[in-house]
Structure 1
Amino acid sequence: MAIFSYRLTSSVFWNLLLISLGATVFAVGVKAIAIPHEFVTGGISGVTLLIYYTTGLLSPGLWYLIINIPIFLVGWIYLSRRFFLYSLYGMAFVSLVMDLVNFTLPINEPILAVLAGGVLMGAGVGITLHSLGSTGGTDIIGIILNQKFSIRIGAFTFTFNLVVFCCSFAVLEMDLVLYSLFTSFISSQTLEYVLSMSNQRKMVFVISDHYTKIVNEIHTKLNRGATYLNGIGAYTGNEKRIILTVINTIQLKRLEEIVLVIDPDAFIIMENTFNVIGQGFSKRKMY
């Protein structure tokens, strides 16, 4: 099961599906909520909306495509082909859906629009980032700057968004800019939540004299690997074999049952991990 899951998440079909779904959710948030309320988003989509609001020319999707073209031309030089092609697909898909969405969600209260728009855009980006690509924009710029000049991606993104929102004061009324800032905050919180939903795993340490039997059960019933660590009891001075394994949250109760049925006196330590990369879990993105 773990091998199948790993192969699935590495497949072209799965990654294109994630990018398509995420790009659609994000584009709906922008086109059906942000634009009707004249909100500005962060990143390149924020620049897109500022230009669209100022000029009234073309369409948001077309502006998003035009602005991303020089970014991807530079990205072709510095990025891996796999990440580049997936991201190119994501960027083009966002542009397409932005122009295809011709409806407005019937949300009249600005604060509700802030919540709904932030959740949709954050969820969309989060779903996309579970793939081996992105939707272009500041993701591409940040990676290039990090590789060439060791500039942290988070610091660049924060600075870029700060400039976008400062420029918004020249185009939009102050209350709209403030609503936009709140939308961006909700979006970032939703993004973190979506990323943690599937990336978070449990790292478990088990100390027991029946370590061999427990590990065999982990292999056969949970289909997970395990590692032995050597330890010494501080009080007794006796050598101990410590079992280290990583599981998902669904398997946690099953692991507890396996261990405590074999050894009711076993000592179990569980710790949250934000991301696990390797066979059976996530595949590393190659930028």
Structure 2
Amino acid sequence: MKQKLTDFALVTIGSFISAIAFNSMFVENHIASGGVGGLAISMNALFGWNTANFVLYANIPLLLLCFFLLGKEVFIKTVYGAWIYPIFIKLTAGLPTLTHNVLLAAIFGGVVLGFGLGLVFIGHSSTGGTGIIIQLFEKYTPIPLGTSMALVDGIVVGLGFVAFDADTVMYSIIALLSITYAVNLVMAGADSSRNVMIISKHHRQIEKYITKVADRGVTELPIIGGFTGQENRMLMTTVSRLEYQKLETNILSIDETAFIIVMPATQVKGRGFSLQKTHQNLEEDILIPM
């Protein structure tokens, strides 16, 4: 229940932040940066259609496709974000445009909107729209995810040529790149872990600390020194970003000459990370509630 409430809060806050960036940076500057939101800006310029209403109504057939083709579980995770995002767009429609410098709006608006979307994704949801189409491509075609994202958003940005001049469309592309960068940064920051490799003459003590005190798994690998030719042991463990500093401090307190290699691990699956940590042998894995 706590996880579900956290997800709910992240989706709500993220949608609100994205809506603010959309109305205060993109609409008046005609930045159609992909997705249903970008298409809404083009339709607003061409026909005067309300952007919030367009996003809301466009999501209805897409959510139906989600329900029938992607399944009930994906639909449930998507429907709230797809509903609350256009509501927030409507509520924040009266905000003043923060800058009429289109380049600044594309860069900073993209970063803020991408940050909001990143929070939504961390909350295991989405704002619907073309994200549903991308999921359909991923499920039913051999097209890679990155290619399908570029294809779908590229078409939406390309439609901007009908409504705007070439300069505006190029600013939209800059905004799309800013959004993508910010989303990836938020997602990596939230999920990032550290893969740590340790070589030490006191590897038994360090191994005991990692398993008994730090409560993390550890793998022991046989190695041979390239210079000395002597056999040794290397320990490998994976910890969260917040756990790493304490781990390093305690390793060095055991052996101040320990050789430590740290590598970022932006996606870790398994017990203690994507699966519930347990010290019992279970017949079936228990997933963390989404």
- TM bucket (normalised to shorter chain) is 0.7 to 0.9
The alignment partner of 2:260 has SS state of strand
Is 1:77–2:68 an aligned residue pair? yes
CA separation in 2, counterparts of 1:78 and 1:278?
28
> Using a 3 Å threshold, how does the CA distance of structure 1 residues 179 and 235 change in structure 2: closer, same or farther?
closer
Q: Percent identity?
A: 26
Aligned mates of 1:44, 1:156 — CA distance in 2: 15
CA distance in 1, matches of 2:208, 2:73: 38
Partner of 1:142: 134
Q: Distance in 1 between matches of 2:109 and 2:83?
A: 21
Q: Distance in 1 between matches of 2:128 and 2:139?
A: 16
Runs of 4+ in 1 over 4 A off after TM superposition: 232-239, 282-286
**1:2-39 Cα deviation digits (max 9, x unpaired):** xxxxx95xx21111111111111111111222112222
Structure 1 unaligned regions, length at least 5: 1-6
Q: Which residue pairs with 2:282 in the alignment?
A: none
- Opposite residue 32 of structure 1, the aligned amino acid is S
Cα drift, residue 282 of structure 1: 4.3
Number of the residue aligned with 2:87: 96
Could you say which structure has the greater relative contact order, defined with CA pairs below 8 angstroms and 6 or more residues apart? 1
Q: 1:271 aligns with which of 248, 263, 272?
A: 263
- Out of 93, 111, 119, the residue aligned to residue 119 of structure 1 is 111
1:41 alignment counterpart: 33
Deviation at 1:237, TM superposition (A): 5.7
Query: Cα RMSD (Å) of the superposition?
Result: 2.5
Aligned equivalents of 1:149 and 1:60: distance in 2? 31
The separation in 2 between residues aligned to 1:139 and 1:108, in whole angstroms, is 29
User: Normalising by structure 2, what TM-score?
Assistant: 0.86
> How far apart in 1 are the matches of 2:223 and 2:72?
44
Contact 1:43 1:157 survives alignment (8 Å)? no
The count of residues paired between Structure 1 and Structure 2 equals: 277
Is the contact made by 1:122 and 1:187 (CA closer than 8 Å) also made in structure 2? yes
In the superposition, the TM-score normalised over structure 1's length comes to 0.86
Q: Is the 8 A contact 1:36 1:104 kept in 2?
A: no
| Preserved contact between residue 196 and residue 262 of structure 2 (Cα < 8 Å) | yes
Note if contact 1:84-1:133 (Cα within 8 Å) is conserved in structure 2.
no
CA distance in 2, matches of 1:73, 1:16: 22
Unaligned runs of 5+ in 2: 276-286
Determine the C-alpha separation between the residues in 2 that align with 1:56 and 1:34.
Answer: 15
Change (3 A) 1:222 1:119: same
